Amino acid sequence: MRRFGVFWSAASLALLLLAAPAAAHGADGALALETQTTNDPAMVEIRARLTYANDDEPAPGASVTVDGTGPKGESLATQAMTAAGTGIYAATVQLPASGTWTLRVSASTPNAVAEIEYSTAASATTTTAADAAGAVSEPATSSTSDDSSDWVLPVALGAIIVILVGGAVLVLRKRARLRG
């Protein structure tokens, strides 16, 4: 019987340790976008900083894409963005028509969506807020959900496991006392 109690204690501890990292960041992200002109007026470089919404830590290894809508409803094909640093993603996009484009960046794991407008007529760099080093620092329009309840399930499961393990330990101790 004692081995059973030790097994359950170890299993419970292992489950708690495994649940903690899964809930550390959450599923929602935030995107900050920056655009820069290139030598070709029909091309734009777009950079995205992806962070976890609940702790503002960079989100490396995500799947990030960019697409867009032109001034007359033209569509820009979805293009994958490549990693350009920890939580930074970049792409150079060829715009098929001149005018003001709405560029939409989508990320998964964590999930985030943001849009920024870019005009091919712009002669200077068009950006969102950036710090002095040129790194993106604030989100453009982001439509991520602010669901900060990602921790509830792991905490509830952990509490249930602790209660069950505690009860099993008490039962085993009581049985041991009765046996003398």
* Average pLDDT score over residue span 66-76: 95
| Percent residues over pLDDT 70 in the chain | 67
In which residue are the tokens 């697409």 written? 67
Instruction: Encode pLDDT of 82-104 as tens digits.
Output: 999 999 999 999 999 999 999 99
Least confident stretch, 41-45, 47-51, 63-67, 154-158: 154-158
Strands 43-52 and 75-80: unpaired
CATH superfamily assigned to domain 29-142: Macroglobulin (MG2) domain (2.60.40.1930)
Please give the backbone phi and psi of residue 166, each rounded to the nearest 5 degrees, phi first: -60, -45
DSSP state of 146: -
CA pair distance 131, 4, nearest whole angstrom: 57
Read off the pLDDT of each residue in 17-44 and give the average, rounded to a whole number. 80
Does the pLDDT of residue 145 top 50, yes or no?
no
Rounded to whole angstroms, the Cα distance separating 128 from 137 reads 8
- Residue 110 near residue 52 (C-beta atoms within 8 A): yes
- The crossing angle, in degrees rounded to 10, of helices 2-22 and 152-179 is 170
Token pair belonging to 118 = 């870019």
Which residue, chain included where needed, has tokens 């002109």?
37
Q: Which one-letter amino acid corresponds to residue 180? A: G
